[in-house]
Amino acid sequence: MKVCGLTGGVGMGKSTAAGFFLQHGVRVVDTDELARQLVQPGEPALAEIQIHFGKNIVASDGRLRRDELARIIFSDAAARRKLEAVLHPRIRERWLAQIEAWRKEGHHLAVVVIPLLFETQAEAHFEKIICVACSSAAQQERLAARGWDADQVRHRIAAQLPVEQKIARSHFVIWTEGLLEVQHRQVGQILQKL
């Protein structure tokens, strides 16, 4: 089975691209979704996060206060590394297990959506790497549309490798500005080459 990594900057369209791969029948696992599962009430990772970041990080209903955690980790690199030390090994374990399950089922192609692919030194796990990218202006506009202020946008972008470096280290690029049908076509062209 061929396994591809799908990466790109925050707000650049990874989820949309992943959806196009799904439409083509490709198996897709999204590490952001795995991270959300790991911090559900009762999960060991959530308890560990609470130990590192204090009781206030969990709301009265037992759920992670994601906005509060984001405020802490995106303004403090050491805090972000602490969180990554809790989550990244667990996330990797889960997507590797999913890939192995699909391999046993006889699937031919799988895509792992992994925003911090290069930052976590995961490239050795993939035959090909696909980078989803757009201009800085489009990225800023998309992140502002999420309701993030200028500081939040700046901190999120600074927490990742610059997209130019991700593009340079990838085998394929999907440019996400313009019509969705053009992006869909780009995915189709990549699949033909794979």
**What is the reported pLDDT for 159?**
80
**What is the reported pLDDT for 45?**
94
> pLDDT tens across 26-65, in order?
999 999 999 999 999 999 999 999 999 998 999 999 999 9
Q: 88 — phi, psi (to 5°)?
A: -60, -45
Cβ-Cβ contacts under 8 Å for 65 (sequence gap 6 or more): 56, 57, 58, 59
Q: Tell me the CA distances in angstroms from 161 to 52, 118, 120, 129, 154, one per residue in order.
A: 25, 8, 11, 15, 13
What's the CA angle centered on 124, arms 28 and 174, to 5 degrees? 50
> pLDDT tens across 155-188, in order?
888 888 899 999 999 999 999 998 899 999 999 9
Mind listing the domains of the chain with CATH numbers? 2-37+90-193 (3.40.50.300)
**What is the reported pLDDT for 24?**
95
pLDDT tier, 71 (very low <50, low <70, confident <90, very high otherwise): confident
In the chain the beta strands, taken as DSSP E runs, fall at 2-8, 27-30, 109-113, 128-133, 172-175
Residue 140 pLDDT greater than 90, yes or no: no
Q: Over range 6-31, report the average pLDDT.
A: 95
Per the structure block, which two tokens stand in for 172? Answer: 């394929």
| DSSP H or E segment with residue 180 | helix 180-193
| Share of the chain residues as helix, strand and coil, in percent rounded to the nearest 5 | 55, 15, 30
Residue 154 pLDDT greater than 90, yes or no: no
> pLDDT tens across 95-135, in order?
999 999 999 999 999 999 999 999 999 999 999 999 999 99
